[in-house]
Chains A and B, each alone.
Chain A
Amino acid sequence: MSKASRKANRERLRQERIKEQKRAKRNKLLAVIGAAVAVVALVVGGGYLVMRLQEGSSSGFEGATAPQTLQQDGSVVMAADGARAPVVEVYADYQCPACRNFEQTNSDTLKQLAADGRAIVHLRPVSIFAAQPDPISSNSLRGGAAARAAADHGRFVEYNDVLFENQPAEGSEGFSVEDLTAWGEEVGITDPAFAERVAAEDAVVEKFVTDYYPELAAKAQADIPDRVQTMRLAELMEWGSDNGVDATFLDDTYVGELLDATAAVNAKYSEGDNAFAGTPSVYVNGVLMGNEAYTVNGLVQAVEDAEAGEPDTLPVAGDDSMAPAESPSSSPSKENPDE
């Protein structure tokens, strides 16, 4: 064999070896990437299943809801007749996205717990967005007032669901009078008084958002610029009443009642671990729930771990037929019982 051909031969072998090494290298890389993809698929797929299982089934309540009883402060108690069970208070704003998420997750759970007599569900609409820019404020107030009107016709729980289902996107106009009225019919409110009330409350909202609040805010900014930053809306309104910003147009309106309810929860849970700091706030016998409220199992567990309690409100007078069998009249001082 000539020297040249031996050299060529060696070169060919060398090239092949290099090719072989490159192929092995590539295969190794592909295998590693495949393994990595498998890990991702396993974690995401497996985790998804576990999450759904842990959350529990969030849909499927189809029985009759427990009786709903309008309370003097405009809130609604949903409980089986004579139920002795923990009180679950749900404070929510109809414009608040987190409330919508809570509702989507646990609306059926609450209905189930109430229907089974395992919980006394106290639904308490508030408006934490009343002082936000329009239309966040007006949506919040209009929604809350319409829900209160639906409670007059015994359809609060159903209407509450529809409102959250149709929650306007943050910052866009929603909850129009037409829609609010149509949804009333959807849940079975036939009395024309409902539509009238919704329209009347809309006018109140309009006045609040376009005239009253801007005037109040401007006057406060001018007169008490130091204090205004830390004042709650209720304090600000009280200050306004003493300083010539008239709020009497809110008297006997559901908008006014909603604002009073908001002030009331701020006062009721004013400090400590149970302080009311936003919506949704879910309290079981006065103890504020954390993020576990957003899972079915978390909520059910909290209720099962709690003792029987009583709502701190009274049913509206003349509503005896729907009132819970237990007399709630003995419990106006039942605040933060488990602290």
Chain B
Amino acid sequence: MSTDTEENTGRDRELRQRPATRWETVQPWATLAARLALAGVVGYAGYTKVIVPALSVQSVQAYQLFGDDVSRFIGYTLPLFEIALALLLVLGLATRLTGIVGALLMGVFIAGIASAWARGLNIDCGCFGTGGPVAEGETAYGLDIARDLGFMALGLFVAVWPRSPFSVDRVLGLYPGRDQRR
């Protein structure tokens, strides 16, 4: 967590006095970009699933990891959770936590895809919209995992450097900008 207390005022004063390093200038904007990119991906993924819950359920079932009722529940709520996460990222509310949760979610997806791969299932990852079984040789597990690793990196970036402009956190003074530090 940020250590924005009097203990650091000496260092902060020093920070304020010397000109910002390039990283200090760039980082908040990079975080903003990462926030919005991850929000776009997760929000789109949620949207494409939420409009057709039956297919979302089918995508979950295709992994053959859960019983029917659990698959159904996940199929309905996961897209909503993704949309909520996207909303939080756009708002910049609890940025660090949101980044961590986003990265964890990607970790779960990667684990799911890897397990489908390992078990020799022929399925679409169901990441966006419709999933389910596909013909042999039409799977794209490696690509899906690589893509999710990229999204995971976005989440981790946001978690490690949560300071960013246009965020509710900043308005509340949680991860203040450089100029606003006491």
Contact = CB atoms under 8 A, between A and B. Distances in A.
Given A101-B57, A104-B54, A39 B88 contact: yes
B139 interface: no
A55 B51 CA distance: 10
Interface residues of B, number: 43
B136 A28 contact: no
B69 interface: no
Given A21-B5, A22-B5, A32 B94 contact: yes
Contacts, number: 99
Nearest to A37: B94
B83 A47 contact: yes
Contact of A18 (B5, B81, B83, B97): B5
B179 interface: no
Contact of B50 (A18, A47, A100): A47
B55 A43 contact: no
Contacts of B130: 98, 291
Given A47-B50, A97-B132, A170 B62 contact: yes
Mostly, the B contact residues are: helix
A221 B81 CA distance: 48
A169 B52 CA distance: 22
A55 B53 contact: yes
Contact of A101 (B1, B2, B54, B121): B54
B94 A97 contact: no
B64 A169 contact: yes
A268 interface: no
Interface of A: 14, 17-18, 21-22, 25, 28-29, 32-33, 35-36, 39-40, 42-44, 47-48, 51, 55, 97-98, 100-102, 104-105, 132-133, 169-171, 291, 294-295
Given A29-B1, A102-B54, A294-B53, 16 more contacts: A18-B5, A18-B6, A22-B5, A35-B94, A39-B84, A39-B91, A43-B83, A43-B87, A44-B84, A97-B61, A97-B62, A105-B54, A132-B135, A169-B64, A171-B121, A295-B54
